[in-house]
Structure 1
Amino acid sequence: MKGYTSSALLLGPALLSQLALAQQAPNGVVHWGIQKRHAPNAPNRLLRRAGPTHQAILQNEQARGGYFATCAMGTPGQKVTLQLDTGSSDVWVPDSTASICNKGACDLGSFDPSKSETYTVVGQGEFDISYVDGSSSKGDYFTDVFNIGGTTVTNLTMGLGAQTDIAYGLVGIGYAINEAIVGNSHSLSSQYPNLPVAMVDDGLINTIAYSLWLNDLDAGEGSILFGGIDTKKYKGDLTRIRIYPSSNGYYFSFIVALTSLQAISPSGNDTLTSQEFPIPVVLDSGTTLSYLPQDIVDQIWQEVGAEYSDRLELAVIPCSKKSSNGYFSFGFAGPDGPRITVRMDELVLDLTSGDPPKYTSGPNKGQDVCEFGIQNSTSAPYLLGDTFLRSAYVVYDLVNNEIGLAETDFNSTESNIVAFASMSATIPSATQAPNQAAVTNRPVATMPSFAASSGFSDTGGSGNDGKDENASAGMPSAFGVAQMSVMGIAMVFAMVGSGVFVLL
């Protein structure tokens, strides 16, 4: 068992320089900036799926959709960049000896336990997380020093991916009960203090809670505040709504009730309906796109002129639609709950990192093809990923099992950080949504008039009237699809969620 020197985390010169800059941040917040970079070409992963306040800066990976934070592990600190994920609960990192790293794929860093003076194995062979497409990561659980955003957790339990086909690790910050070891052992007693819990145990934050500001699609950075909120990062009221447990009463993931959806454009408004209302949706930063029931997604696609591509197995849309003045209004927790506006420039995404494919026929012939940010799913829980979360300021309160929601203030340059007062304190500056009992009401599902449809047409005048006529005729040719890069194809699979959703 290796010893730990508690006096300081031994960082390299570059990390020490960054830390010194971070410690100069105002308001007692530790601020960590990172440079924009593309994630490595990891396998496609279609996954199931806080006193003082500490802040880390997250990179908005537009081409891949993920949000990444640069951290340091071990003594001396080894720099790694990990994807932030509210949909899973383990921090894990590829082992430097993993075959995928030996092939040069671990561009965001890996961990060499032989170079850390404070590394200790605590669960040999017990780290085992797998995903529905067959990708996985396996190895040991270990404890070591973990530094993120200038904040040090002295003895964090993490997973080491010795056998992994995923080229970068994750910072899972969900409920501890959703850790991989709990699902594998089928025992609640096997859970350990994951990162948010460990930060409380170390006295770094007052409660198990954090707030997320992803900023807009074109921004290079977003931020997360553990143990606090920033009142300058949202507009209007911050409203608390309840998180729903699984059928057995346990809280595994951030499921909230989506109770209304409207399409609004210069040509009119439509109330979209579904047999699934109230729709259980998971607010998951590890999901690139958003996934809703088929019946309401069909209405959304018809409103905006998106078309399902059998070849790509997802809905696509002319890239010019990004300039549309239309938007969607998502309502939560009943008729008096919060509403979040999501505009088209957050929902029209590049399919490739290079030249986009083009429509070869139909009303959109010659136009560039983009991916649409709302896709269809066949079963609950449904997912609201980054294409929704960028438009919302979201506070996750894992103690009171509540979510705080407000409209985001894009590109805000001001800051007013307020810490949670105690472990049981509710979300600061937030009021509870009234009449949440009305969430159980199921409105009658009817077909909208699509009055908003023509208003979603792009300003360039493509001639698309928003209907899905001749949908297959407008799809990219085989040549167009062949032009897509590996990164573009990865986005087709969208990195949906992160981690294993456990039901005991």
Structure 2
Amino acid sequence: MKFAVSSAAVAVSLVALVPGALTAAVAKNKSPTAGRNIEVTKEMLEVSVVGGQTFRAPQVLNTGFMQQGRGPRAMAKAYAKFGLQIPPELLLLLEEILLSLGITPGSGGIAGGSGSSGSSGSSGSSGSSGSAGGNASTDAGQGMVAAIPQMFDAEYLAQVTIGTPPQTLNLDFDTGSSDLWVFSSETPKAQQGGQKLYNIAASTTAKVLAGATWNIRYGDGSSSSGDVYLDTVSVGGVTVQNQAVESAKQVSASFSSDAASSGLLGLAMNSINQVQPTPQKTFFSNAMADLAMPLFTANLKKSEAGNYNFGFIDTTEFKGSLSFIDANITNGFWQFESGGFSVGNSSTATITSFPHQAIADTGTTLLFLPDGIVNAYYGQIRSAVNSQAAGGFIFRCDEALPNLTLAIGSYNAVVLGGFMNLAPTSTKDASGAQMCFGGVQSSAGFPFSIYGDVFFKSQFVVFHGGNTQLGFAPKA
């Protein structure tokens, strides 16, 4: 049933998909051909009463966020998240960052640990073999990653309530993992860093999931682990009862250092959930049947809080039409193929063919791409240099940076050059000019490219669980 609203109301209302409109468009255009896009115009996304629920999850500022060392931190976090061995030169750089912050390398970390040989990767990996030996050793310097403040990475968080009566926690929404884990009343005080805790005993609806445990191993040898409770979880007014909540009984110090973040809410596929012996469903998977449409959108922004919308698409948040492409969920991620790229600000630039597999990951800061694309991009920046001392590609902070266009099927996603300047480094060039860390870095060593927050700040992205598709459009 349609309803009339004023133009003023439309601007703030929840805009929901007309029942079946997107599904019909998909059915009409569905093709087994990889890279085939489905265009959905704004006219197909009308204001309607559709039944089912919709909600907006606005982000909130992490008041502990710091810029210092942000580039190397983001690099190390990505290596650790996907169970990869962190390069020795990056470890040395991180040691310098720790010392500059007054943190002793290895403190609270995993020096002397047994490493992660044969580990199954992190919450973001899907059974990847991990790194033989990991980075842990009897050398204290090898344990340093676990002690670096997580505040460098999670600039914005989102509010989630758990339990009865509801307890509000700020969590990091992550489309590259599938666990909902939190600091809790079971977390040792020595591993707490001022986080708001999930008080299990205070919730009348909490019940232990007998025999269930979780253990997320990272590429630096550190880990987070604990047991599992079923409890009521709400985000933006949508409630899931008996949601698996992973209670941390042991936490890597990299998470303990961030007082503002109480944990993680994973939004990837159920298959890579780390609960044993039986993987548990994500919040989104459990909530899908009650949503007006089985999807959520990510509208992340630069230097300000963005939002996630569940069950509806807000047409005021993007320009033009949405371009949908099939997601490959075999490995548990929102994975897709990109066909090529171009560098520069011309809208008519020719796309250079460079096929590569990628995942859409809001839990990774940087944009990790194949060397051929990264080298082509920085080849257009006069002062750019791949610096071991800085941990990756850097350039003068006053450089005017070109756009990077990435072809996703027939859709060309433009990543604005202004978003490629991640943060200042401690490095200066020969003239004394400040150097900044690049937002795009090499994906060498990763099993796929990672389209992280640098990409999301230019693109409005739809994660359609019902059709296992991704939709892209330029931000409004």
TM-score, with normalisation over the residues of structure 2? Answer: 0.66
Residue 37 of structure 2 is aligned to residue 37 of structure 1 = no
Aligned partners of 1:207 and 1:123: how far apart in 2?
33
Runs of 5+ unmatched residues, structure 1: 1-24, 50-60, 410-504
* Aligned residue in 1 for 2:184: 95
Report deviation, 1:102: 3.8
Distance 1:309 1:47, change over 3 A: same
Are residues 1:259 and 2:343 paired?
no
What are the superposed Cα offsets for residues 238-285 of structure 1, whole Å, 9 maximum, x if unpaired? 11111124xxxx35111111112111147x957555xxx310011110
Partner of 2:307: 223
Match of 2:372 in 1: 295
Say if 2:193 is the partner of 1:105. yes
User: Structure 1 residues 296, 34: closer, same or farther in 2, change over 3 A?
Assistant: closer
Kindly state the Cα deviation for residue 154 of structure 1 after the two structures are TM-superposed.
Answer: 2.3
Map 1:460-471 onto structure 2 (within 5 A). Answer: none
Partner residue in 1 for 2:385 = 307
Q: Secondary structure at the match of 2:319?
A: strand
Query: How far, CA to CA, are the matches of 1:63 and 1:40 in structure 2?
Result: 6
- Cα deviation, 1:173-205, whole Å, max 9, x if unaligned, reads 111112113xx55xxxx333321121135x2x1
Partners of 2:62 and 2:154 within 8 A in 1: no
> Per the alignment, in what secondary structure is the counterpart of residue 241 of structure 2?
strand
Instruction: Give the root-mean-square deviation of aligned CA atoms.
Output: 2.8
Residue 339 of structure 1 and its aligned partner are, at CA, apart by 1.0
Q: Distance in 1 between matches of 2:395 and 2:167?
A: 42
Secondary structure of 1:115's partner? coil
Residue 132 of structure 1 pairs with residue 199 of structure 2: no
1:171 corresponding residue in structure 2: 265
Q: Kindly provide the CA deviation profile for residues 279-298 of structure 1, in whole angstroms up to 9, marking residues without a partner as x.
A: 00111101100111122211
Residue in 1 aligned with 2:144?
Answer: none
Q: Aligned pair 1:404/2:468, yes or no? A: no
Query: Which residue of the partner structure matches residue 199 of structure 1?
Result: 287
Per the alignment, in what secondary structure is the counterpart of residue 240 of structure 1?
strand
Q: Distance in 2 between matches of 1:237 and 1:126?
A: 44
Cα contact 1:263–1:272 (8 A) shared by 2: no
Cα distance 1:258–1:81, how it changes in 2: closer, same or farther (>3 A)? same
Change (3 A) 1:340 1:272: same
CA contact (8 A) 1:261 1:330 kept: yes
Structure 1 residue 125: deviation in Å?
5.1
Judge conservation of contact 2:191–2:251 (CA < 8 Å) in 1.
no
- Higher RCO (CA-CA < 8 Å; seq separation 6+): 1
Matched, 1:370 2:436: yes
> 2:297 is matched with which residue?
211
1:243–1:256 CA contact under 8 A, matched in 2:
yes
Which one of 335, 343, 361 corresponds to residue 416 of structure 2? 343
* Paired position in structure 1 for 2:238: 151
Q: For 1:215-235, what per-residue CA distance to the aligned partner results, in whole angstroms no more than 9, with x for missing partners?
A: 3x12x2211111221111111
Q: Deviation of residue 138 (structure 1)?
A: 0.7
Conserved? CA contact 2:54–2:311, under 8 Å: no
Q: How many Å separate the matches in 2 of 1:243 and 1:387?
A: 20
Percent identity, please.
23
8 Å CA contact 2:173–2:362 kept in 1: the answer is: yes
Secondary structure in structure 1 of the residue aligned to 2:474: strand
> For the Cα contact (< 8 Å) 1:128–1:137, is it kept in 2?
yes
Task: For 2:397, give the aligned amino acid.
Answer: C
Structure 2 unaligned residues grouped into runs of 5+? 1-11, 15-52, 83-123, 125-149, 257-261
Distance 2:274 2:465 in 1: 18
Moved over 6 A (4+): 40-43
1:479 maps to none
* Cα distance, 1:63–1:90 mapped onto 2, change above 3 Å: closer
In the superposition, relative to structure 1, how do residues 251 and 229 fare at CA in structure 2: closer, same or farther (>3 Å)? farther
Change (3 A) 1:34 1:390: closer
Q: What TM-score do you get using the length of structure 1 for normalisation?
A: 0.63
Q: Aligned equivalents of 2:194 and 2:222: distance in 1?
A: 15
Distance 1:214 1:173, change over 3 A: same
